Amino acid sequence: MFYIIVFIIGSIWGSFANVCIHRMPIGESIVVKRSYCPDCRSKINWFNNIPLISFLLLGGKCKSCQSSIDKKYFIVEIISAVSFLFVFHFFGFTITSLLLAILSIFFIIIFFIDLKHYIIPNTLTFPLMIIGFVKSFDPNLNLDLFPNYLNSLIGGILGYLVIWLIILFYKKIKNKEGMGLGDAKLLSAIGFWFGWISIPFIIFLSSVIALLVVTPSLINKSKALSSQIPFGPYIVIGCVLYLFLIEYIFQFLII
């Protein structure tokens, strides 16, 4: 029963994430305006806006204009619901679960905004930095997962400096921007959350994933080396993989 409740709560927050993903890049309020169809602009009634269920019942089409609804909305709600389930399964009803649920929503929003618009808004990264650092003062949190305040502070600084130095180096060599400061702020936020030791692993994992995804496009020449590629989604995936592998990573380091 608890799993069902958590799944429903996760899908509701996924619906809110969809609002943020759509409105933040265009500067619209995420709380004042009611949900509307992007095509016909008609307001969506609450019974046509039930997470997951409404999409399926409406056949993925707007009730008013019958235009197709982007499958991304359904995907985001599913990812959010499943993320909440994973967090609850491993950590139960704890502060750790609450923090990881919050992080998962931020990650989902950042992932899809950067994927489409090549930006990571400060309104997402700055709150993540603050939450990541403030929580480090709570000695009762899961210390295997979250660092103390000093480790957190070093992680935040290191995360930003790593990307900033890459940007600076690339600009010196190529005389143009290679990455955005949004990536630096995102990695800084992750450093605040999981400490300095997470940074090299996340950089490595995200780089490998990016390489695996982009290489086929380079081979078939649908992308060039100079093509703009959003790195934020790969940082997010790298961090998620790090969290799944953290136990094995620390066992390896101890050995």
pLDDT of 228 > 80? The answer is no
pLDDT of 255 > 60? The answer is no
| Mean pLDDT to the nearest integer, 73-99 | 95
Question: In whole angstroms, what is the distance from residue 188 CA to residue 32 CA?
Answer: 31
Please name the residues in contact with 202: beta carbons below 8 A apart, sequence gap of 6 or more.
187, 190, 235, 238, 239, 242
- Residue 58's pLDDT is 86
Stated pTM of the model = 0.91
- Residue 254's pLDDT is 60
pLDDT of 174 > 80? The answer is no
- Residue 246's pLDDT is 83
Is the alpha carbon torsion for 23, 26, 29, 33 positive or negative?
A: negative
- Tens-place pLDDT, residues 100-112: 999 999 999 999 9
pLDDT of 208 > 70? The answer is yes
* Residue 105 · residue 80 · CB < 8 Å: yes
- Residue 224's pLDDT is 64
| Mean pLDDT to the nearest integer, 179-200 | 93
Going through 124-201 in order, the beta strands assigned E by DSSP cover: none
| Mean pLDDT to the nearest integer, 194-214 | 93
The more confidently predicted of residues 89 and 218 is 89
